[in-house]
Amino acid sequence: MTTTQYVPTRTGMTVDAFKRALLDNLYYILGKDASSATPYDFYMALAYTVRDRMIHRWLATTRTFEGAHARTVYYLSAEYLMGRQLGNNLLNEDLTEIAREALAQLGLNLEALCELEPEPGLGNGGLGRLAACFLDSLASLDYPAVGYGIRYEYGIFRQTFVEGWQVEQPDHWLACTYPWEFPHYDMRVEVGFGGYTEPWTDERGHYRVRWKPARTVFGVPYNIMVPGYGTDNVNTLRLWSAQAVESFDLRLFNAGDYIRAIEGRVLSENITRVLYPDDTTPQGRQLRLEQQYFFVACSLRDILSTFRSQESDWERLPQYVVIQLNDTHPAIAIAEMMRLLLDDEGLTWEQAWGITSRCFGYTVHTLLPEALEEWPVELFERLLPRHLEIIYEINARFLAEVAQRYHGDIEHLARMSIIREHPERRVRMAHLACVGAYAINGVAALHSRLLREHTLRDFAEYWPEKFSNKTNGVTPRRFLKLSNPRLADLIASRIGDAWLNDLDQLRQLEPLADDPAFRAAWREVKQQNKQALAANIQQSLGLAVDPTSLFDVMVKRLHEYKRQLLKALHIITLYWRILENPSLDVAPRTFIFGAKAAPGYWMAKLIIRLINGVAEVVNADPVVCGRLKVAFLPNFNVSLAERIYPAADLSEQISLAGKEASGTGNMKFALNGAVTIGTLDGANIEIRERVGEENFFLFGMTADEVFALRNAGYRPREMYDRSPALRGVIDMIAAGRFSRGDREMLRPLVDYLINRDPFMHLADYESYCTVQEAVDAAYRDQERWTRMSILNTARCGYFSSDRTIREYCDEIWKIHPVRVQLPG
């Protein structure tokens, strides 16, 4: 008798087993058969089929880490821009071709189903995407790690344009079941807000404090699997959702007061309703602080519970637990850890502080003072009274030490105090993080230097040993292999695919930059990617663009310091030159924008309106003859970015020097062969050093020159008065040329540029336009441009998030890989 080897439906890695599992999931989970299923049903069945093959690895990873009692990093971030999960999970689980063949046998297309996946917009920009890249690298390198964040019901808003203006619409990514998450209601924790504190004395005569919250909410964890590439390791991202303790008042309902019957539930669940509520109102500010404390309180309770399941001695906590604060948002964790150790566990202050101050690392992601959060003392006192008491005590003890070193220098004490006294008493969260963390790092060489010399200078002088640099990186799995498969395949055909786990191997491409046949193949890949993006622009905007034109791209969060406005001035300059000389010979360009402005950020919204106004005029003017096209693609997110990076020729990284912490978009562009035009800001400096000065278009002032000009007294009107070209461009805006004749609509932008210009657009304008002429000349020489493109990719190995994570693990977190072994 012939026997057939059994292939388990849930974990089988053959095409037949995968297809059988997909149809089973369609039938038994979704209640559909193939004849009645919609494409979305098939997407869901596919997602469950992939998920099944991850679960046993995930549970094995958890058991392995517990068994090894491994030192673990817990990553606290208010943002995670994970992107769509299906394609990434297929890649990391080595299931892409198996799934493609199984679907083909059912008459289905893998790529079409991947497009149906909703994207969780649980972040605003680079901060959230960096956190996602770090989780990918931690899993791929086998490091024990858990990410913690917030499960926002509505993520970053969905952006549309109406009459050129940004309009925000809710992004309900949870409208349908999200197949990648596992709710664990049995693991929920209770979090308090408001109320009062009362002192008491314990049986040993020690002074103690109880916090009596006025209200409490539950935090329910939702686990998302994070698979590594080329490993069986599957780490965890745990997002917390707020749930009311009492969700329904039956007495009020029966009395006919239906609204008040659910009021408590609504107020509780509002905490995780929306990513970054508008904080221009007192209610919005309170909700932001509630969000931050909520997810920190849930996460620390979870971390300590995990520790106590294996250890009883609190002094050993720093040996096994390291908690990384991703920017200032989770800084309240310092005070919360102290509260838990003091009030719940009964430790002395000295014990609790000794433990707390050895557990936390702090990454600073900004140089902008307004981004280093401060909260009114009055709000803290009302919302978190016990934490304010603890912060006062931390501050008093810290300032006593500072006073000894600086002999009572009052100005020094005032600058370093966690409490700002004037003009309003506020809690400085960055100062709390600096005092409570054992390590503080910036995210690019320049950024870290400016932190030490300016933003956190007093703390760097006081604790120089705490400060270091960890230049950011991006995962090549998602941002090259997954998003640019044509280029990844071309690279693999020449050097193999080991570069996916060792990006420095891209260096092997350097000699090929001088190979005409390879350059031709490289250009063909780029051209195909540009054609795909051109089709997307046509579909999205109804705008036909020339795929052979120079794709000049600026996609990133909309902020004045990133200077999308300077890019707009350059486009208007080119347009003005063509109007002055209709036969002007310029290399055809397609300018591509993508950016969201925060809902309450009026100036950013005005810049969007200007760019859309420029697009409306330039795209329709027959004098331009198609030489210039402007496309502002709405709702920029990870999925759209994955289409744009592979198609870009020129990467615009033009922030004012000294303002961008690092940037990661600059790395993604360069990795995909785009050539950068940029200032010496953030990681641009390190990109230029590695790809070569001749493969980078540099313009503008240095950070030191920016400081010098500002100190000397920057007067933008002088720039306007002495430059006919600049004056002509700004006057076109003032005359209503890009606002349908309305001279008042964009008047605030004109006044802003001429009278204030805090980010020095006008000071860098001439340098920028001059270097753009060099870009024009270089692009006309396609052999030269292709060589520059190849060398950008070949020399970007340093900017892998794997390298960044190894540096964190070796130098800050002191954790080691733990290889997962599957049972059997």
Catalytic residue among 61, 236, 664, 676: 664
Strand order from edge to edge, sheet including 675-678: 628-632, 589-594, 550-555, 650-653, 675-678, 696-698
- Parallel/antiparallel/unpaired status of strands 207-212 and 196-201: antiparallel
Catalytic residue among 53, 158, 238, 365: 365
Please give the structure tokens belonging to residue 329.
């948002």
Q: Is 557 among the residues known to form the active site?
A: yes
Catalytic residue among 562, 570, 605, 690: 562
| Cβ-contact 37, 207 below 8 angstroms | no
Q: Is 664 among the residues known to form the active site?
A: yes
**At 253, which amino acid appears?**
F
Nearest one of 797, 802, 812 to 138, comparing CA atoms: 802
- Number of neighbours of residue 571 by Cβ within 10 angstroms: 20
- Parallel/antiparallel/unpaired status of strands 215-227 and 234-244: antiparallel
Catalytic residue among 238, 301, 589, 668: 668
Q: How far apart are CA 335 and CA 338, in angstroms?
A: 5
Q: Is 407 among the residues known to form the active site?
A: no
Catalytic residue among 71, 556, 596, 629: 556
Q: How far apart are CA 543 and CA 293, in angstroms?
A: 46
Cβ-in-10-Å burial (0-12, 13-18, 19+) of 625 comes to: exposed
Tell me the CA end-to-end span of the chain in Å, nearest whole number. 27
Q: How far apart are CA 536 and CA 467, in angstroms?
A: 45
Range 617-620, long-range pairs (CB < 8 A, 24+ positions): 617/575, 617/737, 617/738, 618/571, 618/575, 619/543
Q: How far apart are CA 366 and CA 619, in angstroms?
A: 36
CA R_g for the chain: 28
Q: Is 454 among the residues known to form the active site?
A: no
DSSP lists the bridge partners of residue 550 as: 589
Q: Is 523 among the residues known to form the active site?
A: no
Q: What is the DSSP letter of 117?
A: S
Count Cα neighbours of 493 within 13 Å in the Cβ-side half-sphere: 10
Q: Is 761 among the residues known to form the active site?
A: no
Q: Which residues of 338-365 are buried (b: 16+ CB within 10 A; e: fewer)?
A: bbbbbbeeebebeebbebbbebbbbbbb
Q: What is the DSSP letter of 770?
A: H
3-state secondary structure of 775: helix
Distances (CA, A) of 745 to 603, 692, 738: 12, 43, 10
Nearest one of 128, 795, 760, 728 to 512, comparing CA atoms: 795
Q: How far apart are CA 632 and CA 16, in angstroms?
A: 44
Please give the structure tokens belonging to residue 185.
């209601």
Nearest one of 305, 280, 306, 279 to 292, comparing CA atoms: 279
| Cβ-contact 690, 798 below 8 angstroms | yes
Q: Residues for the chain: how many in total?
A: 824
Distances (CA, A) of 307 to 301, 390, 816: 10, 23, 18
Catalytic residue among 53, 57, 481, 557: 557
Nearest one of 557, 603, 611, 596 to 164, comparing CA atoms: 611
Longest dimension (CA), the chain: 95
Nearest one of 447, 481, 443, 321 to 813, comparing CA atoms: 321
Which residues are the active-site residues?
A: 365, 556-557, 562, 664, 668
